Amino acid sequence: RFQKILKGSKIVDISKELAKKREIKSAHEIRKIKTACKITSDTFDQIEKILKKARTEKELALELNYAAMKNGAEAIAFPTIIASGVNAALPHHSPTNEKISGLLLIDFGVVYDGYCSDMTRTFHIGKADEKAKRVYEIVYRAQTAGISKAKPNAKAKDVHNAAASIIKKELGQELIHSFGHGLGIEVHEDPLISSNAKTVLKNNMVITTEPGYYDKSWGGVRIEDDMVVGSPKPITKAPAFLMEINRQ
């Protein structure tokens, strides 16, 4: 239609160029992302209270989304992932009517004034066994290693590999997805923080940091926080130890 209206003009797709421009965030964009992250963190802080109203994965997703909206979110950034027990081994599990027990992986984000957050927390219903505690500690160490590398002028692949090498050495598994990705008006933006990424990180890029370990016969652990490249600490901060939730 444009070509018919603008006779003799050439229509050029500039999507890739715009995506590249959006990699580096302005101060007001970062403020909005930080607010989205605070709403998400505040909602995660209510998890024990929310779990008293929810017995299944689907019920928890609904209650979590409702709590986020009450906390100031304008929308949910993507379909909330609630994965309990062996379902936690599926990185993009859709909530079911299965009752929540054992490991509980929640991947959840909100939109505030057009900007997204993206966080994952892994909990344990009741007392966690030594394997769950050990896996969580290793995944947390992997995340910390990746975050420490995510500085201006660092290669994105080096950030991924710093985390992946710990998962491989300690748990014998390749990191099956990228360490992270850009975050902004979309929940998945450039740059991708992966083993074959060619990106060099720049000041004020906003990225996720999300290593994980998955075992189909057992479950999984993923920890995800958001950070601004060049800032001294992440916007969000996961607990260093696996949080046990008493549902009594």
- The reported pLDDT for the residue numbered 5 is 85
Residue 31 near residue 235 (C-beta atoms within 8 A): no
Is residue 52 classed as helix, strand or coil in its secondary structure?
coil
- Measured torsion, CA atoms of residues 187, 206, 119, 141, in degrees rounded to the nearest 10: 140
Write out the two tokens for 172: 């014998």
pLDDT at 9 (0 to 100)? 83
Please tell me the distance from the alpha carbon of residue 57 to that of residue 78, in angstroms, as a whole number. 16
Residue 32 confidence (pLDDT)? 98
The three-state secondary structure class of 200 is: strand
d(CA 229, CA 215): 31
d(CA 118, CA 190): 14
pLDDT the model gives residue 247: 73
Instruction: Walk along the chain (248 residues) and give the pLDDT tens digit of each residue.
Output: 887 888 878 888 999 999 999 999 999 999 999 999 999 999 999 999 999 999 999 999 999 999 999 999 999 999 999 999 999 999 999 999 999 999 999 999 999 999 999 999 999 999 999 999 999 999 999 999 999 999 999 999 999 999 999 999 999 999 999 999 999 999 999 999 999 999 999 999 999 999 999 999 999 999 999 999 999 889 999 999 999 998 76
pLDDT given at position 2 = 81
- Shortest CA distance to 24 belongs to which of 119, 152, 133? 152
Nearest to 83 by CA among 55, 113, 107, 117: 107
Residue 73's φ and ψ, nearest 5 degrees, are: -70, 145
| Residue-level pLDDT at 151 | 97
At 18, give phi and psi (nearest 5°): -65, -40
Q: What is the DSSP letter of 86?
A: G
